[in-house]
Structure 1
Amino acid sequence: MAVEARLMGLARRAGVPGPEVHMALRPEDGLGEGFVMEWVEGESIGSRINRSDELVAARAGLARECGRALARIHAIDLDSTGLNDALHEVDPAEEVRQTWERYKGFHSPQPMIDFTARWLLDHLPPEGEPALVHGDFRNGNLLVAPTGMAAVLDWEIAHIGDPMRDLGWLCTASWRFGHPEKPVGGFGSYEDLFAGYEAESGRAVDPAHVRFWEVFGSFWWSVGCLGMADQYRSGPDRSVERAAIGRRSSECQVDCVNLVIPGPAAGVVRAGGDDGPDLPRVDELVGSVREFLRSEVVPAMDGRAGFLARVAANSLDIVGREMEHGAEARRLEANRLRNLLGVDLPLGELRLLLAEGLRDGTIAVDADGLVEHLRQTVVNQVLIDQPTYPGCIAALGFDADS
């Protein structure tokens, strides 16, 4: 945490909004790691930043402010500050490969993740001058006051690398919080972000370069969500929140679909219903528990317990959609895979076969039927996991002429 405190101090001196760090704890203090910093007023919850009436004026200029702040971060000299010795350097190819390897360790084949990794490695940006990279600069890690940006937070994964990574991460769809039409954090436009960056840095921004990192952002967070599920399965965190976040991987994957293989999504799962004779049916039992949580438990609980009760109710929504659509989605997926791969195996083995073929290059990214299969599979899954997710709606409403 001493490095994080140091980074915050350097950024503040460079003109980046943030608190003054008064002191960093030392071993002789006997208080562990940490630092003492100034209190700064502002809103940090992304959804509130995007909808608060008090922040209307701040939102109007926030994308440009972000561009200016990032340009100042990236201009911090690595040699004179000693950051070259304090931080590790990661190039784009290494970031992709590290994330890909982490995903493989979960043993949960998701061929769209493998396809996206291949796409990223095939579209690496040109080499440039490495810079200080914040690493997690996004809506949710900013403090915003009515007057504008009040602080940049959460420096713990800062490193040296491609500065455009920060711009792409800020534009990643997961951080738009209900406003997909505003690609910069759900509050601004690419044009304003780039204008702020260019005015401060004197360097032109290549939108294609930023787009690479936007794709990487959805790729990285799709793997991160699977990591949450892995934590639930293996510990140490067995909370209902971890399990639920695991199902958000499909949201990120559909964002990758929309970015790298946009097109019509055919064969999506439609409601089938269960007309079985049992009273009550399983879906009715699940629904009754869900409504109990929403109508009685959530209103009676505050803080984290209330939040987790809402998460639990949302998870039961997923269970209900899985019961209604899951079998048909898997049947369609298996049929497409058998046609694509030319073998008749169980679905789990077919998924692994496709994933391994994408990993070792024996299956080309332009193989006949591959893109259509990936698009339809991901859309069917996100229809179960979160059918109102903006990326899902965009995929279903794809218009080749738009």
Structure 2
Amino acid sequence: MEPIVVDGGAVTGPVPPEGAADPDVLAGLLERRLGAVLGERAAVSGLARLTGGASRETWSFAVSAGGAPRRLVLRRDPVGEAGHGAREAAGMAREAAAIAAAAAAGVPVPRLVDAGTDAGIVGSPYLITEHVDGETIARRLLREERYAAARETMAAELGRTLARVHAVPPDAVPGLESHEPLETLRDGYDALGEPLPAVEIALRWLERHRPAPVPEALVHGDFRTGNLIIAPDGLRAVLDWEQVHRGDPREDLGWLCVKCWRFGSPLPAGGFGTVDQLLDGYAEVAGERPDPADVLWWQVYGTARWAVGCRAMAERHLSGEAPSVELAAIGRRVCEQEHDLLLALGVPPVAGGPAPAAAEPVEASDLHGSPAAADLVGAVAHFLREEVMPGTEGRLNFLARVAANVLDGVGRELVLGPAQERRHRERLAALGCDDQAALAAAVRSGEIDADDPALLAAVRAAVDDRLDVANPRYRSLPG
């Protein structure tokens, strides 16, 4: 891998080739690089960007080089994106080293073909791996009959796999970072400048219930349904090692059990099985069984971490760093994590919640004429679903669906928002606060106890209102 030269926090030296963001140019760059790596003239075909991956790009393609075509996968940082420099390049190098070390320890991973930090090769730091057959889409894995046998044993298999991950010597991956989890979480949350009472309640609970420390291990950092390739006969590969670090191995176990990675399944271990099944599998390889209460602590931590992560991704859009409807939409998922935090802490939703029929009528106005704003929003969402999505595929189809869902939420906010805002102000006033930031500050300072029933009821009602706009179906998912 090419050395990283830092000058004022940015990588100096080779710059991205002109047009590297264009798929046709990228195909040529891959042909040149893989020809050098494989020692044969290379021809790339079928290059397509895959959906998902809000922070890094993932591309699939085939390469022919003196033999039958091989299916490969490219992961790279966004080309030319503001803020990408030495730290991001080092992160890609670390991810490549982690994949190699995990493979040596018997963890199923895609075989590493090439990796580099020189932006002059394919436009940004990158890694290339062999394609692995199987499925990553959680809803298929958790519902389709062909994966029924794999589901039966998957929780234990994932436990065994995590035990092997945690057995990788951390020194086998140069540059692994270690951090104090609660301090890091709070710093990231504070940096966003949007205080959330539900997150403050969770942070207070985490402070009070922290488990005893254990020796640091290599932690995958994003081990969950969606980052696993699974076939009908079982696990094929663990993907996305970009958040690998030194830390408490129980972090990976708790992260897998975060509710959003269950995708509607009532089973806590990634939607596949029980926590006991997960920990039994872990103990088979590790020789010791973590305490379920400690795993719950890391589940609550992971849920708060994802709430902060969703808001941080939205900030990349809001700041202009990376304008994206996908990143903007993720910002409205914060309320899902607030909901999950409250559930994990024993605060259920209000039964039924406020129905759309309870919305206050929007005051009629002839200023803008017809159609009204809600009608326009509905028309554009209909256009995306009925005319754009049927004629597209891949990432464009995915983004059209995201955009349509965003417009649905805007439409619900136009209808429900006035009544919700009135109720919100009444709840804040009852707690002696002018706004949500003041309420969050009162929880942090201890002025209002995090266990106060009036506080929990007010925060739960606010989260329910946000869910009724952002994703009303989420509240009905198993807890």
Asked if these proteins are the same fold (TM beyond 0.5), I'd say yes
Alignment of 1:39 onto 2:131: yes
Q: Judging changes above 3 Å, is the alpha-carbon distance between structure 1 residues 294 and 19 closer, same or farther for their aligned structure 2 residues?
A: closer
Superposed, 1:72-111 pairs within 5 Å as 72-78=164-170, 81-83=171-173, 86-90=175-179, 94-111=180-197
| Partners of 1:102 and 1:26 in 2: CA distance | 26
**Which residue number corresponds to residue 284 of structure 1?**
375
- Relative to total residues, which structure has the larger strand share, 1 or 2? 2
**1:48 offset after TM fit, Å?**
2.7
Letter in 1 for 2:287: G
1:393 aligns with 2:479: no
* Corresponding residue number in structure 1 for 2:94: 3
Residue in 2 that maps onto 1:252: 337
Give the corresponding residue for 1:57. Answer: 149
Instruction: Find the partner of 2:407 among 300, 308, 316.
Output: 316
**Which residue of the other structure, out of 226, 230, 233, is the alignment partner of 1:140?**
226
Pick from 101, 119, 134 the counterpart of residue 205 of structure 2: 119
1:70 and 1:197 in contact (8 A); partners too: yes
- Counterpart code for 1:330: E
- Structure 1, unmatched stretches of 5+, are none
Report the CA distance between 1:127 and its aligned residue: 1.0
For 2:247, the equivalent position in structure 1 comes to 161
Does the 8 Å contact 1:270/1:325 carry over to 2? no
2:387 alignment counterpart: 296
Q: For the structure 1 residues 328 and 48, does the alpha-carbon distance in structure 2 shift closer, same or farther, using more than 3 Å as the test? A: same
How far 1:394 sits from its partner (Å)?
5.7
Contact 1:250 1:382 in 2 (8 A): yes
State the shift of 1:208 in Å: 0.8
Residue 175 of structure 1, aligned match among 257, 261, 278: 261
CA distance in 2, matches of 1:223, 1:207: 24
1: distance between equivalents of 2:323 and 2:114?
A: 36
Q: Percent identity?
A: 41
Question: CA–CA distance in 2 between the matches of 1:151 and 1:56?
Answer: 18
Name the CA distance, whole Å, in 2 between partners of 1:257 and 1:49.
27
Q: Are the counterparts in 2 of residues 261 and 371 from structure 1 also a CA contact under 8 Å?
A: no
Q: Helix, strand or coil for the counterpart of 2:305? A: helix
- Single out whichever of 263-272 and 103-112 deviates more from structure 2: 263-272
CA contact (8 A) 1:267 1:376 kept: no
Whether the 8 Å contact between 2:154 and 2:234 is mirrored in structure 1 is: yes
CA RMSD after TM alignment? 2.5
36 and 306 in structure 1: CA distance in 2 versus 1, 3 angstrom threshold: closer
Distance 2:360 2:446 in 1: 41
Residues 46-67 of structure 1, C-alpha deviation per residue, up to 9 Å, x if partnerless? 2232234432222222111100
Contact 2:109 2:237 (C-alpha < 8 Å) held by counterparts: yes
State the Cα deviation string for residues 55-114 of structure 1 (Å, max 9, x = none): 222222211110000011112234xx444x631222xxx222222222222222221112
Alignment match, 2:445: 360
Structure with more contact order per residue of length (Cα contacts < 8 Å, sep ≥ 6)? 1
For residues 129 and 394 of structure 2, the distance between their equivalents in structure 1, rounded to whole angstroms, comes to 25
1:379 is paired with a residue of what secondary structure?
helix
Q: Quote how far apart the aligned CAs of 1:368 are.
A: 5.2
C-alpha separation between the residues in 1 aligned to 2:188 and 2:351?
A: 31
Larger Rg: 2
TM-aligned CA deviation for residue 25 of structure 1: 4.3
Map 1:144-293 → 2, pairs under 5 A: 144-179=230-265, 181-263=266-348, 265=350, 268-271=353-356, 272=359, 274=361, 276=364, 279-293=370-384
1:229-275 deviations in Å (ceiling 9; x for gaps): 21111122212111111100000110001011424527943222647
Q: TM-score, normalised to structure 1's length?
A: 0.87
CA pair 281-19 structure 1, distance change in 2 beyond 3 A:
closer
SS across alignment from 2:229 = strand
1:291–1:38: structure 2 CA closer, same or farther, 3 Å change rule?
closer
Report how far residue 294 of structure 1 moved.
1.4
Structure 1 residue 212, shift from structure 2 partner: 0.8
**Equivalent residues, number:** 381
Over 3 Å counting, the alpha-carbon distance change for 1:291 and 1:148 in structure 2 is same
CA distance in 2, matches of 1:173, 1:315: 22
Q: Give the structure with the larger helix fraction.
A: 1
